[in-house]
A and B are shown apart, each in its own frame.
Chain A
Amino acid sequence: DSGVTQTPKHLITATGQRVTLRCSPRSGDLSVYWYQQSLDQGLQFLIQYYNGEERAKGNILERFSAQQFPDLHSELNLSSLELGDSALYFCASSARGNGNTEAFFGQGTRLTVV
């Protein structure tokens, strides 16, 4: 158990809909990362937050947005969903999020868009 909790574990929704994925970081970790992993693909970095502020942005679509709340949990919002958005979405947390501390990953949310 990494200490990072992601909910829900599975999500099935229709094209055009909007969903929210939730991540609770490990106790004491200030930074949260979001990644997308499509079938047979590597992990694509989406976005990173540190102590409530956006720190780094990757290949995140405009239809996607995220935030980190004062209690440090984070949410990833995906809207106008397309079939191609079907993927595993992982959240990770780290103590400082500065590239030199290890990150701990949750078990992921499997999103299926039908």
Chain B
Amino acid sequence: DAKTTQPNSMESNEEEPVHLPCNHSTISGTDYIHWYRQLPSQGPEYVIHGLTSNVNNRMASLAIAEDRKSSTLILHRATLRDAAVYYCILGLSNTGKLIFGQGTTLQVKP
């Protein structure tokens, strides 16, 4: 299965933008890129997903590289409630699997 690579941890200041990178060099042409986040002792929460074009929703933006081998999740103004583990995931089109990587722990400082 294709896999994703993310930095183990990142820090941000409150109310500043955060760019969380993800590499997925083995992605196939029809696999979707998903982002989820997980707070301690909770189930993962859907953030955003896309195929080729950049995507925006009320939570975040997703910027996908032209060759689709990498993507960036953008939180426009980090809040303390955004501190979580962020997972970049591939939604495999041939099986429907959602394969989680190790995730990035985001710390937001006041």
Q: Are B43 and A106 in contact (CB under 8 A)?
A: yes
Find A103's partner among B46, B51, B92, B102 (CB 8 Å cutoff): B46
Complex contacts, A100 vs chain B, CB 8 Å: 32, 49, 51, 91, 93
Q: Are A43 and B44 in contact (CB under 8 A)?
A: yes
Q: Are A105 and B31 in contact (CB under 8 A)?
A: no
Q: Are B97 and A99 in contact (CB under 8 A)?
A: yes
Q: Which interface class (under 10, 10 to 19, 20 to 34, 35 or more) fits A?
A: 20 to 34
Q: Indicate if A84 sits at the interface (CB-CB under 8 A).
A: no
Closest to A43 in B: B100
Determine the distance from Cα of A42 to Cα of B5 in the docked complex, in whole angstroms: 13
Q: Which interface class (under 10, 10 to 19, 20 to 34, 35 or more) fits B?
A: 20 to 34
Q: A105-B43, A105-B44, A107-B43 are known contacts. Are A99 and B93 too (CB-CB below 8 A)?
A: yes
Q: Are B87 and A42 in contact (CB under 8 A)?
A: yes
Determine the distance from Cα of A56 to Cα of B93 in the docked complex, in whole angstroms: 11
Q: Indicate if B34 sits at the interface (CB-CB under 8 A).
A: yes
Q: Are A45 and B97 in contact (CB under 8 A)?
A: yes
Q: Indicate if A74 sits at the interface (CB-CB under 8 A).
A: no
Q: Are A45 and B98 in contact (CB under 8 A)?
A: yes
Q: Are A98 and B96 in contact (CB under 8 A)?
A: yes
Q: A43-B44, A105-B43 are known contacts. Are A56 and B97 too (CB-CB below 8 A)?
A: yes
Per-residue CB contact flags for chain B residues 88-109 toward chain A (1 = under 8 Å, else 0) read 0011110111111111000000
Complex contacts, B101 vs chain A, CB 8 Å: 42
Find A98's partner among B87, B90, B93 (CB 8 Å cutoff): B93
Task: Give A contacts to B, CB under 8 Å.
Answer: 2, 4, 31, 33, 35, 42-45, 48, 50, 55-56, 58, 90, 92, 96-100, 102-108
